Structure 1
């Protein structure tokens, strides 16, 4: 279920401001997974302008910056293919758009399915959420941690909005834990330095991840 990040305020002015600042700093740290995205290989299908989709992955404190956004082109659908530079345990998602009918009303989430197409997105997602209009970036959706505990590639499919011809998104925030990818192929070279590398190459990369594809 979506929930807002609310917090209580003291009546004193100083503690009131301090609480707001502390909360913003805390959220900025928690929503830092955008720094672990392989942006060079990130793609957004049906974006109106090439490269627009990548701009919605930005610091939490810039989530209300309306100068950077992605808008759909031919219809209201948008599909993001997001590879990470390691493994992620995904714990929270924020989707922020305009306070109008261009805001997406649903997201379907797929893990570890690189290069998804719109045809692929017709498959059953690992999880999906009905979205609420959120122009301030305050509503968090909580994926099932068990399902999204080892994610090296995330696909977000927005099939529809609240009734507009095109969809617009200003910010997508991702919260969770990040683990660096470890490549065991190097270890194989260390203790079998005279072995034929070709004999081991396929197996070595098979075990560690398609994260490098």
Structure 2
């Protein structure tokens, strides 16, 4: 980990404990669910730029603090992001970075395995989990927001409803710089792909195939 301490950008006055703390959450590559996200199917409602939501999820861990691309809301402060995975995952935590402004998201309502949520249903349905994002301050890294693991064991998609931001209604634009997930991929052999999609559609398949969880877990370390 020794090389990781050199990414301070000569910011002089800031407390460097904040920066060192970020190394504690630098995830082991295998715990990031990045390669298990179905980027092409990400759908974001009320984004000001097409595919703006997908663009921030596509950022790698190394790019997490980059100023661009950035997701901005359009008509009001709310955002609704549907993020599907390529199979079943266990989600342990949500990773989010936003610039330290009142445009930063505050209340997130998370829905599991629903591809049919719009703003009206997001307001009415009971979310799988609600979390509040801390208000960001300058010099801070990504927030790691732990999820209740028991609720996110067999996740094929996660929908994030950004209900409000930190401006208390004064600012109708919400901005998000980076979203990622930590967890475990329920390894099904990735060949052929169509088998995996059928299994994702029917959770019972996972129970029916004994011992399959250990198969093919390390087939593609380069992904």
TM range, smaller chain? 0.7 to 0.9
Indicate if the aligned counterparts of 1:24 and 1:61 stay in contact, CA closer than 8 A. Answer: no
1:207 aligns with 2:202: yes
Indicate if the aligned counterparts of 1:112 and 1:151 stay in contact, CA closer than 8 A. Answer: yes
Summarize the alignment of residues 20-31 of structure 1 with structure 2, pairs less than 5 Å apart.
20=5, 23=23, 26-27=26-27, 29=29
Note the C-alpha offset of 1:208: 4.5
Identify the residue that residue 54 of structure 2 maps to in structure 1.
Answer: 54
1:155 aligns with 2:134: no
Q: Given the superposition, is the C-alpha separation of residues 19 and 62 from structure 1 closer, same or farther in structure 2, using an over 3 Å criterion?
A: closer
Q: Which entry has the higher C-alpha Rg, 1 or 2?
A: 1
Indicate if the aligned counterparts of 1:96 and 1:172 stay in contact, CA closer than 8 A. Answer: yes
Identify the residue that residue 32 of structure 2 maps to in structure 1.
Answer: 32
Identify the residue that residue 179 of structure 1 maps to in structure 2.
Answer: 186
Summarize the alignment of residues 36-185 of structure 1 with structure 2, pairs less than 5 Å apart.
36-57=36-57, 58-122=59-123, 123-134=125-136, 136-163=140-167, 164-181=171-188
Identify the residue that residue 194 of structure 1 maps to in structure 2.
Answer: none
Provide, for residues 13-54 of structure 1, a one-character-per-residue CA deviation record: whole Å limited to 9, x for no partner: xx9x45747x48952515631221111111010000101111
Q: Please give the alpha-carbon distance, in whole angstroms, between the structure 1 residues aligned to 2:202 and 2:39.
A: 24
Provide, for residues 109-152 of structure 1, a one-character-per-residue CA deviation record: whole Å limited to 9, x for no partner: 11011131111212111111111123643321111111101100
Q: Please give the alpha-carbon distance, in whole angstroms, between the structure 2 residues aligned to 1:205 and 1:165.
A: 37
Q: Please give the alpha-carbon distance, in whole angstroms, between the structure 1 residues aligned to 2:187 and 2:130.
A: 27
Paired positions, count: 177
Q: Which runs of 5+ in 1 are unaligned?
A: 1-14, 187-202
Q: Please give the alpha-carbon distance, in whole angstroms, between the structure 1 residues aligned to 2:200 and 2:152.
A: 22
Q: Please give the alpha-carbon distance, in whole angstroms, between the structure 2 residues aligned to 1:52 and 1:162.
A: 21
Q: Please give the alpha-carbon distance, in whole angstroms, between the structure 2 residues aligned to 1:101 and 1:205.
A: 38
Indicate if the aligned counterparts of 1:78 and 1:157 stay in contact, CA closer than 8 A. Answer: yes
Q: Please give the alpha-carbon distance, in whole angstroms, between the structure 2 residues aligned to 1:169 and 1:64.
A: 11
Indicate if the aligned counterparts of 2:36 and 2:87 stay in contact, CA closer than 8 A. Answer: yes
SS of alignment partner, residue 115 of structure 1? coil
Moved more, 87-96 or 71-80: 87-96
Q: Please give the alpha-carbon distance, in whole angstroms, between the structure 2 residues aligned to 1:159 and 1:207.
A: 31
SS of alignment partner, residue 95 of structure 1? strand
Q: Which runs of 5+ in 2 are unaligned?
A: 7-22, 205-223
Q: Given the superposition, is the C-alpha separation of residues 75 and 204 from structure 1 closer, same or farther in structure 2, using an over 3 Å criterion?
A: closer
SS of alignment partner, residue 94 of structure 1? strand
Indicate if the aligned counterparts of 1:28 and 1:59 stay in contact, CA closer than 8 A. Answer: no
